Amino acid sequence: MRLFEYSSFSSKPIFSVVNLFVYGAYLLATIENVNGFEGLIQLPTSGSFSINKSGPLIVNVTDFGAVGDGITDDTNAFQDAWEIACSSRSRANIVVPDGQFIVGPINFTGPCTSKVTLRPCQHAPKAMTFHRCNYLRVNGIVMLNSQQMHLAFTSCVKVTVSRLKILAPSGSPNTDGIHISASTHVTVKECTIGTGDDCISIVGNSSRIRITNITCGPGHGISIGSLGKSNSWANVHDVSVRGAFLSNTENGARIKTWQGGSGFVRKIIYENLMMENVSNPIIIDQYYCDSTKPCSNQTSAVGISRVSFARIKGTSATKEAIRFACSDSSPCRNLYLQDIELVSPSGGSTSSFCWEAYGSTTGDVYPPPCFPSAKTITQPVIQHSNFTSM
C-alpha cells in the first residue's frame, strides 16, 4: 500500500482538511496493532541454506542454530548467518522465519562480496547496525522498543530500506528509527516509524539520500543533524524528502547544527509533506544545544544553503510554524519556500521567525515569510543528481 501516488500528488499539490484526517487515520491504523501488519509483510514459513543456478543463496537463520522460542539467545546465529551471506560470491538472501527470536544489539559489518538482502521478519533484533555494507537491501521488518537507535547505517553505499515498521515509546530517548551516517546512495521508502527521537536522522558526510512515502509519529521528525558538535567538520548534501505524513511530532522538516562547527549543508529538498499537530513544522536551528548546561557562544558554524521547503501543509501545535535561527557569522542563504500552509489546529494564525536567514518564495506561503527583502521567483535553484535505487 502506498501512502501517496506521486504522479498525481506532485503535479497537483492540493491539500485539505479531509486529506489531513485521511492520512491521520492511516497512521493510527498502521501503528495501532503490530500483529495486524500481515497486509504489508508476507512472512516466510520455511527456508534453507541453499543455492540454485537461477537464484540467490538462501541463508535461513534457523540453519545456524536460531530457535525463535522466545527464550534462547539467537544473537550468534544471526551473526553467523550474516558472515555466510556477506562472504557469498552470489546474491544472498537472509531469511528469518516467523518466531520469537531473542537477539541483542548486533553489528553487521562489510564490505560484502555481493548484494545481500535481509528478508521480511516480524521480530527483527531491536537494534541493528550495518557498517561498510554495499548493495544492501533491508525489506519489510518490524522492530520494537529498542533502547537505542533501531537501525543504523554507517559508511555504507547503495542501500535500499523499504516497508519497515519501527515503534518505541514517545518518551524513550535516543531511539532514532533510521540513522544514516557517512553513507551515500541510500533510499528509504514506504516506512512507518514512531519513536522517542528522530524518525530518520542524517548526519555527517552523507549524500545522495532519497526518502519517500514515510509515516512519522511520535518522534522528533525527519532531521539532518545534529552536525558540528565539539567544533567538528561535517557535510550533508544532495538529500530529498518527498512525501511524508508527520503526526504529533516535536519537529517536522528539521536541520540542526551546533555552534563552533564547520562544513556545509546544501542541496536539500523537503516537499509534499503533511503535518498534523507538529510543534516545529519547518525549522533550521544553528544554535542546537543538547546539553544540561548552556552551550557557549561561538562564531564558526556549519554553513547552510540551497534548502527548499515546498508544498508543506497542515497544523502547527505552536504559534511559530516556521523558524530559521541562523548564525551571525554564517547566515543561511538561498532558502526557498513554495506553497506552504501551516495553521493552528483550530484554524488560527501562525507566525514565522527569521534570524540571519535569506531566501525567496513562490506561490502562497502561510505564515507569511520573514526573509528580509524576500524575492519571489518561479523555480527553485536546487537540482539533484539522479541515481537508481537497487
Domain containing residue 365: CATH number: 2.160.20.10
Q: Within this chain, do residues 223 and 99 fall inside the same structural domain, yes or no?
A: no
List pLDDT tens digits, range 227-244: 999 999 999 999 999 999
Residue 138 lies in a domain: no
Whether residue 53 sits in one domain with residue 30: no
* Residues identified as active-site: 197, 220
Does residue 131 lie in a domain region? no
Q: Are 34 and 142 in contact (CB under 8 A)?
A: yes
Same domain? For 214 and 333 the reply is yes
Residue-range definition of the domain harbouring residue 258: 10-40+145-376
In a domain, 27, yes or no: yes
Asked, for residue 3, whether it belongs to a domain, the answer is: no
Question: Where a domain ends, among 119, 134, 159?
Answer: 119
pLDDT in tens, 71-124: 999 999 999 999 999 999 999 999 888 788 888 888 999 999 989 998 767 767
Q: pLDDT tens digit string along 243-277?
A: 999 999 999 999 999 999 999 999 999 999 999 99
Tens digits of residue pLDDT in 156-201: 999 999 999 999 998 888 899 999 999 999 999 999 999 999 999 9
Q: Are residues 236 and 290 in the same domain?
A: yes
Assess if residue 125 is contained within a domain: no
CA gyration radius, the chain: 21
For the sheet containing 351-355, what is the strand order? 106-109, 128-131, 151-154, 178-181, 200-202, 222-227, 251-257, 280-285, 320-325, 351-355
C-alpha grid cell for residue 374? 524576500
Same domain for 222 and 259, yes or no, is yes
C-alpha 180: how far from its chain's center?
8
Residue 369 DSSP label: P
Assess whether 35 and 48 both reside in one domain: no
Instruction: Specify whether 287 is located in the same domain as 353.
Output: yes
Examine residue 231 and state whether it is found in any structural domain, yes or no: yes
Residues 259, 368, single domain; the answer is yes
Could you tell me if 347 and 274 lie in one domain? yes
Beta strands per DSSP E along 6-126 = 57-60, 69-73, 92-95, 100-102, 106-109, 116-118
Residue 353 sits in the same domain as residue 371:
yes
Please give the Cα distance from 286 to 72 (Å, whole number): 47
Number of domains in the chain: 2
Are 301 and 237 contained in the same domain? yes
Is residue 385 one of the residues assigned to a domain?
A: no
26 plus 103 within the same structural domain: no
| Domain-located, residue 4 | no
